[in-house]
Amino acid sequence: MKLSPLLLGYLSVLLLLSVPVSSSPCHFPAVVNLGDSNSDTGGLSAAFGPVRTPYGETFFRMPAGRYSDGRLIIDFIAESFGLPYLSAYLDSLGTNFRHGANFASAAATIMPQNTTLSQGGYSPFSLDVQLDEFLQFKSRSQTIYERGGVYRELMPRKEYFSRALYTFDIGQNDITAFSFLNISANDYIPNALNEFSSVIKSIYEEGGRSFWIHNTGPLGCLSYVLLRMPLTAEQLDSAGCAIPYNQLAQQFNRMLNETVIQLRKDLPLAAIALVDIYSVKYKLISEATKYGFEQPLRVCCGYGGGEYNFDFNVRCSDTAEVNGTNVLLGKSCKDPSKSIIWDGVHYTEAANRWVFDQIKGGAFSDPPVPLSMACRREKP
């Protein structure tokens, strides 16, 4: 059946009205982030002791609470909107929450772990705790804002919470949690993603409408995983990454995608972009020389040399007393800008910048919307 031009035009208007994102650049006055060390700007450091040199050496010229030599993807996101870098919610010194807050914690998981940080290596600030912190922040910040004066300058306005971009980068540590403890992924992942979905819905109920979610990266390309358990040659792919661990990451990402599809149905006023960080990072690692990087799996800040320059007992920034002098053992490489992996777990600033440049235009997001347009305009 041939449709009339008038009917075609009418259908086109309806289609445009159904698109959940704006057709013009968004104005995000604030960014609120929840996640793990991939986006932690000082949370775990504030709670359990500062990261030490050479962390932060490339950009900040000093440790800045980040597990990298410089900026993280979340820093580049803030920069792209002309906003200051996000202060960690747990950091009580020199913080400014006017344009958002960062609740991420290194070593955080979606599911709470039945172990302490010293016993299992996982943060007590799991995603449910980060949500509680956000809810408290949203409430208390407005009480403080009403005091006026300098307090008003350091706290977000009430309307910022509905207009903010909510970013998420978490899940990597959940995969190591269930795989290292030999727990079934088929049992763990659905429970974790149910928890993830619940957190998104809670923020939506608080007025959040714009969500930018990263899936998890190629875990099997990180030396702390590659050296954790014996791997045969058949278990390594052409890039040298561990196939079993990358398959677990891909399984998590497939189920995360299904979760986001359902969230879009359940939260009709939300704009939810799911970013394929896995594909971007694997592309960088597998084609490193093409993009100006060298030895993609070798750690920049590490100890011991060898194929990966990584030692579980001597990590980046670790020191030892030699002849009465404290000596830095976990040193950085000569040119971090040529390295992808910073300390065996995290990426260098150069790699983070490269990844951000790939994702900001929307080529790796679903829907394929640029970061600058990842919002929804509600009808007045």
- Catalytic residue IDs: 37, 343, 346
Closest CA to 358 of 308, 287, 296: 287
Angle between helical axes of 349-359 and 73-80 (0-180°, round to 10): 50
Answer yes or no: are the C-beta atoms of 195 and 127 closer than 8 Å: yes
Closest CA to 33 of 140, 198, 166, 207: 166
CA 140 → CA 97, 132, 137, distances in Å? 12, 12, 5
| Angle, vertex CA 277, rays to CA 71 and CA 230, nearest 5 | 95
Strand partners, 88: 102
Cα torsion angle, 369, 372, 374, 380, sign: negative
* DSSP letter, residue 20: S
Cα dihedral 122→128→130→134 (10° resolution): 180
Cα torsion angle, 182, 183, 186, 189, sign: negative
